[in-house]
Chain A
Amino acid sequence: MRASIASVRGVLNKRCAAVVSSVGFTALFTGCASNAPQDTWQPKGPNAELIDDLQQPVFAVAGVIGLIVASAVIYTMIKYRDRGQPIPEQIHGKPALEVTLTIIPALILAVVAVFTFGAIFKLAKTDDTEMIINVTGQQWWWEYDYPVQNEFGINQPIITSGQLVMPIGTKVLLRETSRDVIHSYWIPALNGKRDAVPGRVHTLRLEADEPGIYAGQCTEFCGLSHANMRMEAVALSKEDFAKWVANQQAPYVAPAVGTLAKQGEEVFLNQCVRCHQVNGLTRADGTPAIAAPDENVWSGAAPNLSHLMTRNTFAGAMFDLLSKRCRDEVWNAPSDMVGARYLEGVTEECLNQKDLRAWLRNAPEVKPMYANPANLLVSNGKYRGMPYLALSEDDIGKLVAYLITLK
């Protein structure tokens, strides 16, 4: 009876076992042709390439070892299935064989270790850094702060969010920290991830070979809207980057008196400026309007909205400022055209009105945040994320008209 169970069903089962058990690995190799924006196997810069060059042989060797083990098991199952043979000699082992089989994997790993060591220290190198960007995470968006670096035309600090803009062929050092919980900065095409930890400054080096937009995502669980905390790194040619820098430093242009946008500026001054800074914005009496997010938000910061329409995203890169069609034109542009298209910014016809209006209407509804005033006892009444502002449709229309002028 025992023999029959084994022999009839045995052979059949083993074949299936082979197929099923190798699903993980075969699917892994065939499934990588779909061009996902965060694909870790498509490096676009030297740091990511270094990682890729290190990991590809390891994946290959691991795959081969996996197949050897699976084949050995299946071969054993077929060869030694119960065919009525006598109970075999009770062998307790062959030490020489086992020592050999222990040393072989140890040697393979020793070789891997040598290359790993080299890569770890190469990736940690910072002394030939060409440009510095301070990156600060908070629930649930990233702030990019470009300190003064005259060689790049940055004569006054630039503070932005939504997209990290950087020149190609330049060793850019991110100095990361956080204002609340731990976040993690990750642009797979340019490098691995590095956590942004409150109270610490961690460094991560990015360098892009070609102009383009590279997607990323916060990868340390950071609370309610962790899934909506995205990043985009925009790599521009050095000339285009200089244009971007010049535009970021351009003075504020107030909307013309009597326009809808001017009314929008008033709404902004009444409502938004409590948290959101627009550099150069002044109140009716001529005093500069200075945002005080530290009084209203737990992390103490809210995105600086100067030159908002030079960015393609808002709300922690959860939503696009560009309509789908215009966005595709930038993302799918050939690499020599990316810069020009990106620098066009968001024009009136390209503005994604739907998401922007929904956001202004009720932000916590479209992006989960702790913004219900009734539940803010533990945070001393401070919000985590943008609250519901009860703006009228009228005010929303004015605000949109104003925001579109922030070029």
Chain B
Amino acid sequence: MAIIERPTPAAPVVVTPTETYGLLKRPVSSTGWRSWVFTIDHKKLGIMYAVTAMFFFIVGGIEALLIRLQLAAPNGKVLNADLYNQMFTMHATTMVFLFIMPMAAGFANYFLPLQIGARDVAFPRLNAFGFWSLLFGGIFLNLAWFLGGAADGGWFMYAPNSGPVFSPSNGVNFWALGLQIAGIASLTSAINLIITVLNMRAPGMSLMKMPIFTWMITVVQFLLLFAVPVITVALFLLMFQRNFGARFFDVAAGADPLLWQHLFWIFGHPEVYILILPSFGIISEVLPVFSRKPLFGYPFVVFSGAAIGFVGWGVWAHHMFASGLGPVSVAVFSVATMAIAVPTGVKIINWTLTMWGGKLWFTTAMKFAIGLIVLFTVGGLSGVTHSIAPSDTQQTDTYYIVAHFHYVLFGGSVLGIFAGFYYWWPKVFGKMLSEKLGSWNFWLMIIGLNLTFGPMHILGLQGQPRRMYQWTEARAGEGFFNLAFWNSVASIGSFILAIGILIFLINVWVTSRNPQRAPLDPWDARSLEWMTSNPPKEHNFDVIPTVHHLDEFFHRKYEEDEATHTMKQITTAEDLIAEQERNADRHIHMPSPSYWPIVLAFGLPVIAFGLIYSYLIAVVGGVIVLFAAFGWALESSTAPESDFENPNSSAELVKHD
């Protein structure tokens, strides 16, 4: 439970500060824009994370379409070399840091407390601060487009090409500072969610009864906790190199540029698992629900996830097989990379066996989940081919790698995210997404992504390198199926893919206008987040459930038939939730909103601006941060009762008395 409490009329006030030390009273709005901007509710923040991520998904998608337009034909003229280099740098940066990571954070924020039967995360204000850091960091990063050009060194930003001589615009400064700000979100939410999971599980929920999505998110938070500091160090070095004349990567001063590569990939490889494990978690929820069977081999999936989390730290140099590390290092990292394929394979096997013997219901969410199994397998197998270090020296930095990681990230992470959208939409918004539009959405995405990324296998194996603003017919080969053909197929595919995603947005818009409410338990689901109203109340659960089973909600609804071992329904979700409402806890203390997270987070990009343009601005930013930190520390722990104009949730509680 959150440490900050808000009084309810139904209960005696537990904490009543008589004096406010802060400058501002705590905000209390529960409606209107204030209720969002100052919120510290994990559900609202989850939605805000997801909306932000969706916005950046569209930005990154437009960047991708421009890239594919440029490469559709030889000697493309859509973008010039400089703009193209900015485009692929920002496409990757946006998709990794501003789409998939925040989208996973959105899902985690929303569902992790619900899945473990908690009322919020451990540190709600820190949670809000994390979100605003991400948003401001992301906006700051993209401002570079309008201020002399975005970063142009690739998302891996290898030294010395990232130095001031080789990248003279301010783009890389914006990149390094923007990612540091956005990184704060990852670090704070990692700490926050780990503590939430360790301390705030519902009674009876041992770690091995925890829903698999929560497990995977927990593994990801540990990865973040250790990986984000590494990239932060690297970004600091880069920032000092560019803004303060430091020479960490300057060969003339005796530095070794491979230092950056090691730092970047020690972060960068765990990052890959940070991107994929949340989606593994999502489909590990979706598959059992629509197979009407528990996840096959739950402990294997949990431990293989944890194993990936550990081994993921020992494979970073497989991004550097061509960097000249020497045969011993290459051999070791080659084998470690093969080893990590094993726990990943375990997951594929378990998902398939979850469906085996089930009663399969092919909803859109289920289709996306099955799509992930098959397409991620393609990406995983191409991954195995470049764990063979000698063959990787032929493949690395070609389109074969682009094909590989898009099958992993699009066929894996993104399909998982879309499975999550369709599965949890009724939970979050109380509306069903259209299954018909969903089917169009799914098939166009599947066809589009195979047409876009499938041909890239061929392009790469036939020797087309990555990051080329133009390709030439002289190297395209002969015959009909030459590189020109496959490049144009990929470009056409990318637009089909874009239409698929557009249909998702249309689906959202159309169904939001549909007045019909979603049923309480539309999928006959299994885990705790469904054991409350749609959308959940501010305090999540009227009664904190006591957990006896993995898939607690399912086992409250169903009982095993002794003779046939099939399951018989004994009660409905509606009855269960109505019973909870009747027995609602009388004392529910929820934290009040706060002004300070957004103010504190706003100071950070101001400081960053100052570091690029004028130290005076940085001082102003510093003052904002300090002021907000004091405000945060000194603000009263709750808003006085008289401030609540319309205590909606309290009225509800009264009703249940």
Among the stretches B171-179, B264-272, B391-399, B639-647, the one at the interface with A is B391-399
A256 within 8 A of B: no
Residue of B nearest to A378 (CB): B168
A308 within 8 A of B: no
Categorize the interface residue count of chain A. 35 or more
Partner of B388, one of A28, A54, A176: A54
B69 within 8 A of A: no
B450 touching A34 by the CB < 8 A rule? no
A16 within 8 A of B: yes
Q: Mark B61-72, 1 if CB is under 8 A from A, else 0.
A: 000000000000
Known A55-B388, A182-B161; judge A88-B358 contact (CB<8 A).
yes
Residue of B nearest to A188 (CB): B463
Known A88-B566, A368-B82; judge A80-B358 contact (CB<8 A).
yes
A81 touching B362 by the CB < 8 A rule? yes
- Note all chain A residues with C-beta closer than 8 A to B385: 55, 58-59, 62
B166 touching A223 by the CB < 8 A rule? yes
A284 within 8 A of B: no
A219 touching B465 by the CB < 8 A rule? yes
Among the stretches A98-106, A344-352, A393-401, the one at the interface with B is A98-106
Distance, CA A202 to CA B324, complexed state (A): 6
Among the stretches B10-18, B220-228, B339-347, B585-593, the one at the interface with A is B339-347
Q: How far is the CB of B558 from chain A (nearest CB, A)?
A: 7
Distance, CA A220 to CA B260, complexed state (A): 15
Which B residues, 298 to 356, have Cβ-Cβ distances below 8 Å to chain A?
298-300, 322-324, 326-327, 330-331, 334-335, 338-339, 341-342, 345-346, 348-350, 352-353, 355-356
A379 touching B251 by the CB < 8 A rule? no
Which A residues, 53 to 96, have Cβ-Cβ distances below 8 Å to chain B?
54-55, 58-59, 62-63, 65-66, 69-70, 72-73, 76-77, 80-82, 85-95
Known A13-B362, A89-B565, A116-B334; judge A24-B454 contact (CB<8 A).
yes
- Note all chain B residues with C-beta closer than 8 A to A121: 327, 331
A23 touching B454 by the CB < 8 A rule? yes
Which A residues, 84 to 136, have Cβ-Cβ distances below 8 Å to chain B?
85-95, 97-98, 101-102, 105-106, 109, 112-113, 116-117, 119-121, 123-124
A145 within 8 A of B: no
A6 touching B394 by the CB < 8 A rule? no
- Note all chain B residues with C-beta closer than 8 A to A402: none
A70 touching B374 by the CB < 8 A rule? yes
Which A residues, 23 to 59, have Cβ-Cβ distances below 8 Å to chain B?
23-25, 27-28, 30-41, 48, 50-51, 54-55, 58-59
B481 touching A30 by the CB < 8 A rule? yes
Residue of A nearest to B356 (CB): A76
Q: How far is the CB of B523 from chain A (nearest CB, A)?
A: 10
A218 within 8 A of B: yes
Distance, CA A215 to CA B474, complexed state (A): 10
From B258, B370, B443, name the one whose CB has the most chain A CB atoms within 10 angstroms.
Answer: B370
B481 touching A192 by the CB < 8 A rule? no
B361 within 8 A of A: yes
Which A residues, 180 to 206, have Cβ-Cβ distances below 8 Å to chain B?
180-182, 184, 186, 188, 191-195, 197-200, 202
A27 touching B458 by the CB < 8 A rule? yes
B258 touching A34 by the CB < 8 A rule? no
Among the stretches A154-162, A224-232, A289-297, A335-343, the one at the interface with B is A224-232
- Note all chain A residues with C-beta closer than 8 A to B257: 182, 197-199
- Note all chain B residues with C-beta closer than 8 A to A176: 324
- Note all chain A residues with C-beta closer than 8 A to B350: 93, 98
B32 within 8 A of A: no
Distance, CA A102 to CA B300, complexed state (A): 10
Distance, CA A30 to CA B480, complexed state (A): 12
Known A193-B396, A202-B324; judge A101-B292 contact (CB<8 A).
no
Q: How far is the CB of A173 from chain B (nearest CB, A)?
A: 14
B292 touching A87 by the CB < 8 A rule? yes
Distance, CA A65 to CA B374, complexed state (A): 11
- Note all chain B residues with C-beta closer than 8 A to A30: 481
- Note all chain A residues with C-beta closer than 8 A to B294: 90-92
A50 touching B374 by the CB < 8 A rule? no
Which B residues, 370 to 390, have Cβ-Cβ distances below 8 Å to chain A?
370-371, 373-375, 377-378, 381-382, 384-385, 388-390
Partner of A90, one of B377, B481, B560, B564: B560
- Note all chain A residues with C-beta closer than 8 A to B478: 34-35
Q: How far is the CB of B91 from chain A (nearest CB, A)?
A: 14
B218 within 8 A of A: no
Residue of A nearest to B154 (CB): A221
Q: How far is the CB of B301 from chain A (nearest CB, A)?
A: 9
Distance, CA A182 to CA B261, complexed state (A): 11
A20 within 8 A of B: yes
- Note all chain B residues with C-beta closer than 8 A to A54: 388, 390-391
Distance, CA A70 to CA B475, complexed state (A): 34
B377 touching A89 by the CB < 8 A rule? no
B579 within 8 A of A: no
A182 touching B467 by the CB < 8 A rule? no
B346 touching A98 by the CB < 8 A rule? yes
B451 within 8 A of A: yes
B357 touching A80 by the CB < 8 A rule? yes
A40 touching B395 by the CB < 8 A rule? yes
Pairs across A and B, CB under 8 Å, 11 listed = A5-B361, A6-B360, A27-B458, A30-B481, A36-B476, A63-B381, A95-B300, A192-B393, A197-B257, A217-B468, A222-B161
Chain A residues with CB under 8 Å of chain B are 2, 5-6, 9-10, 13, 16-17, 20-21, 23-25, 27-28, 30-41, 48, 50-51, 54-55, 58-59, 62-63, 65-66, 69-70, 72-73, 76-77, 80-82, 85-95, 97-98, 101-102, 105-106, 109, 112-113, 116-117, 119-121, 123-124, 176, 180-182, 184, 186, 188, 191-195, 197-200, 202, 215, 217-228, 230, 298, 368, 370, 375, 377-379, 384
Contacts A55-B394, A65-B377, A225-B81 supplied; 19 other A-B pairs, CB < 8 Å: A13-B367, A17-B446, A21-B375, A21-B450, A23-B454, A31-B455, A31-B462, A77-B360, A87-B566, A93-B298, A116-B335, A176-B324, A181-B161, A188-B463, A217-B463, A223-B161, A224-B81, A227-B81, A368-B82
